[in-house]
Amino acid sequence: RKEVEQDPGPFNVPEGATVAFNCTYSNSASQSFFWYRQDCRKEPKLLMSVYSSGNEDGRFTAQLNRASQYISLLIRDSKLSDSATYLCVVYTNAGKSTFGDGTTLTVKP
């Protein structure tokens, strides 16, 4: 079993749709959690950190459920520019960040 698992998708949604991605992790000692965005053949960039209380940044909402060991990302009012691969990243106190394989989102007109 992989340490960090994501639904690979692809998710194909129309503009304006709401879409949610889930990610599960196996290491209960994991300390912090992130969503990164990666555009085709480019470097990953931090989208948002995920806090225990949940957090929102504009159209993006991230949630963490430590008991069930999963995190989620909700995108509301999808834009064409949201098309990308979204990577779930889990950081442990051993100092390593482990990546999921990513979920691909395509937003269509």
Partner 1 sequence: DADVTQTPRNRITKTGKRIMLECSQTKGHDRMYWYRQDPGLGLRLIYYSFDVKDINKGEISDGYSVSRQAQAKFSLSLESAIPNQTALYFCATSHPTGGGANVLTFGAGSRLTVL
Binding site for partner 1 (CB under 8 A): 4, 8, 31-32, 34, 36, 41-46, 49, 87, 89, 91, 93, 95-102
Nearest approach, Cβ of 81 to partner 1 (angstroms)? Answer: 20
Q: Could you tell me how far CA 3 lies from the centroid of its own chain?
A: 15
Q: Please, which residue, 79 or 96, has the CB nearer to partner 1?
A: 96
Q: Please, which residue, 72 or 76, has the CB nearer to partner 1?
A: 72
Q: Please, which residue, 18 or 97, has the CB nearer to partner 1?
A: 97
Nearest approach, Cβ of 66 to partner 1 (angstroms)? Answer: 13
Q: Please, which residue, 56 or 77, has the CB nearer to partner 1?
A: 56
Cα distances from 5 to residues 23, 74, 79, 99, 109, in angstroms, run 6, 17, 25, 9, 29
Nearest approach, Cβ of 52 to partner 1 (angstroms)? Answer: 11
Nearest approach, Cβ of 28 to partner 1 (angstroms)? Answer: 15
Length of the chain in terms of residues written: 109
CB 33 within 8 A of CB 24: no
How far is 64 from 43, CA to CA, in rounded Å?
A: 25
Indicate if the alpha-carbon torsion angle 21, 89, 10, 1 is positive or negative: negative
